Amino acid sequence: MPGKPDGPDLQRLDRVVAQARRAREERERGYRERALKLYPWICGRCAREFERANLHELTVHHKDHDHDHNPADGSNWELLCLYCHDNEHQRSLAPAGTPLGEPDPAAGATQTPFASLAALLKRDDAL
Ligand SMILES: [Zn+2]
Ligand SMILES: [Zn+2]
């Protein structure tokens, strides 16, 4: 029996996790402050305005969804209120039950009329 590695290992794991979490929090505070200095305190979706009292409801969204991509010019940031930020991330998820790469029959049904409408418009232009 080579002893019980659980105790010390778990403690070390806890420390590593805590360190990683602290580092991430510091990094997030860093880009959040920079974004708030760079941009007016307004939600990019619903145009709600913020002030110091409710600034915690204004969040920094990463346009490419990569939280490690923080260019100094702020081109990857967008200030969004909590609600719009939630929506933004839900919108980018595939609808539940739709396997990736499979055509969604509902989407096809909504796309077809527009496609034929576009074809009709093109024909009208040509006439
Ligand atoms: Zn909003
Ligand atoms: Zn986001």
Please give the model's pTM, rounded to 2 decimal places.
0.55
pLDDT of residue 38: 96
CA 59–ligand 1 middle distance (angstroms): 10
Residue of 57 and 96 predicted with greater confidence: 57
Residues 98-119: pLDDT tens digits?
A: 555 555 555 544 445 555 555 5
Q: Which residue has the tokens 């940031």?
A: 77
Q: Which ligand is nearest to the CA of 86?
A: 2
Per-residue model confidence as pLDDT tens digits over 26-43: 877 789 999 999 999 999
CA–CA distance, 80 with 31 (Å, rounded to integer): 14
Q: Show Cβ contacts of residue 83 under 8 Å, excluding neighbours closer than 6 positions.
A: 46
Instruction: For residue 47, give the ligand nearest its CA.
Output: 1
pLDDT of residue 110: 46
Residue with tokens 């409710």: 54
CA of 90 to the centre of ligand 2 (A): 10
* Mean per-residue pLDDT of the chain: 81
Q: Which ligand is nearest to the CA of 67?
A: 2
